[in-house]
């Protein structure tokens, strides 16, 4: 699915919509985001040698995972409730195609637990376990 289709599932909008396309397959989401270099989060991080901040990489994973809730998110906002076992193994830089692979591990009521990994050119850059809640939008 493309950005317009993703917007029907996620409430995120530019400049915080951080997934360009997602393919759902076998209960997993495979997302892509092309790092252009002009994103707000690269300004000042770091001048002359920009690197996508780790917290943004985690947000990219979470957005990719939330797409798995297609048909369940209307009228809600997905909010992080936890990040565990986050590991950074490589840098993500302007020009990189950041690819994610995420899956939901379990759910309990409005809470969802997931795990995901992010790659550039097949090299693992980040892995994490995380949780979020679908909170009724006001």
Q: Which residue numbers are catalytic?
A: 45
Residues 101, 120: Cα–Cα separation, whole Å: 12
Q: Pull the structure tokens for residue 72.
A: 């369940």
Q: Count of CB atoms within 10 A of residue 25's CB? A: 9
Give the CA count within 13 Å in the CB-facing half-sphere of 39. Answer: 26
The separation between CA 119 and the C-alpha centre of its own chain, rounded to angstroms, equals 12
CA dihedral 27, 129, 61, 83 (to 10 degrees): 140
Q: Are 88 and 126 in contact (CB under 8 A)?
A: yes
């Amino acid at each position: 699915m493309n950005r317009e289709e993703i917007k029907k599932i996620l409430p995120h909008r530019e400049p915080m919509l951080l997934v360009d396309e997602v393919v759902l397959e076998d209960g997993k989401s495979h997302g892509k985001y092309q790092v252009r270099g002009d994103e707000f989060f690269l300004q000042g991080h770091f001048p002359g040698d920009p690197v996508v901040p780790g917290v943004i990489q985690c947000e990219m994973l979470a957005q990719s995972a939330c797409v798995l809730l297609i048909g369940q998110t209307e009228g809600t906002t997905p909010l992080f409730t936890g990040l565990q076992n986050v590991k950074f193994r490589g840098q993500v830089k302007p020009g990189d195609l950041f690819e994610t692979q995420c899956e939901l591990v379990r759910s309990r009521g409005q809470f969802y637990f997931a795990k995901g990994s992010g790659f550039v050119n097949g090299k693992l850059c980040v892995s994490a376990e995380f949780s979020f809640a679908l909170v009724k939008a006001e």
